Every structure is written in structure tokens, then in C-alpha cells.
A and B are shown apart, each in its own frame.
Chain A
């Protein structure tokens, strides 16, 4: 069964501290993995996808097939990173989202 697990509902860090938002998935095939972000009063939007292997707003995510993980990382958190982050998996014409992690970056 397809499943995406984000174990932390809330993550609070100080500005300048490293951030890691965890995502584990379960899927029998080769999934496409994404991180979506929702800033306050804005729509859900794509942050990055594993196939692109890019860094967006300083965030990176590496797909670890052995550990079935796709953790989102940023070396130095900024206040404007405060938002809701969702990990998502696409496969078999379905897209499954995790429950989300709220990141709060304190000044």
C-alpha cells in the first residue's frame, strides 16, 4: 500500500539553525517524490521534486531508496521558511500526501 509518513507535526528551530523535515514512504514500485509547501494564506505549491535534483530556497531533499526516505533539509533556517510542509508520493496515477509538518522558525 502507498503511504507517506511525516513523523513530526511541529518543528520549531531558531533562525540560522539547520532544519530537517522527515519523510518516509511505502510504495512497491518506483515512486516520484515531492515536497509541497503552504505559506500562510497562500495556496499549496511545489517546493521541489526528487527527479529534478535541485535546490530551491536553500532546501534540498535526497531520495534514499534503501531507507525509503525523502527528508527535506536546509543548513540555515530563515524566518520566511515558516510554513506547512507536505511530502507527497505519486505512483499508479495516485498522489499520496503526508499529514504535514509545521515549521516554525524563531527569531
Chain B
């Protein structure tokens, strides 16, 4: 098992554009969470999805949205990109949605907005 995989690994977008980031969880994991990590800070929680439904949301604007597919993979969408959206976006999967469950992280997608 390759673990949690994210694509692409890097991308550069222009302000105002839209971006879609993708995440494939570990086989058998039904929960996917998304995080934004700005340089020098810890990961900031964006969303948690479990069984294709949003279960938790962080303090991010409505420009951020996500969904989970029947195979439990997930997409994070960001509209009207701002320079401040430049960050490492991390995806994590876990077997259950309970809060004491270990999360397994992907390698991240580095987004640069110019």
C-alpha cells in the first residue's frame, strides 16, 4: 500500500483562478481530512469527510469546498485564489471518524499563487 497519495505534488496558479487538489486515502479508510499548512505554522484544519458527508469544517471562507467520492477519494476545491492561499495542502485519512483514531498523512500538494 502506497499510503495516502495526493496529486499534484506542486502547482502554480494565478490570482483569481480555481484549483482542484486530489487525495486517495489508504485502502479501507473511510475518513478524509484536509489541512492547510503555511510556512512556519502547524497544519490548519479545513474539512473532515466521512462516508461522503462533511463532518467537520474549520474557519475557512466559502471559497474552499470539498467532496468525497464513493471510493472515498476526495477533492479540495479553492475558488478565486488569493496570494494568501499559497501553502502546503495536506490530506489525511483514517479508518474511522472517531477522534482518537490515528490520521495518516499524504506528502502534500504545494500550491503557489502568483
Contact = CB atoms under 8 A, between A and B. Distances in A.
Contact of B56 (A45, A46, A94): A94
Contacts, number: 54
Interface stretch (B11-19, B42-50, B67-75, B78-86): B42-50
A39 B64 CA distance: 29
Given A43-B106, A43-B107, A93-B55, A98 B100 contact: no
Contacts of B33: 95
Contact of A86 (B40, B43, B45): B43
A2 to B, nearest CB: 9
A43 B56 contact: no
Contact of A93 (B41, B48, B103, B107): B48
Contacts of A96: 45
Given A95-B45, A97-B45, 11 more contacts: A6-B42, A44-B90, A45-B105, A46-B103, A49-B100, A86-B42, A92-B56, A93-B97, A99-B40, A99-B41, A100-B41
9 contacts: A4-B42, A32-B99, A43-B3, A43-B105, A44-B90, A86-B42, A90-B99, A93-B55, A97-B43
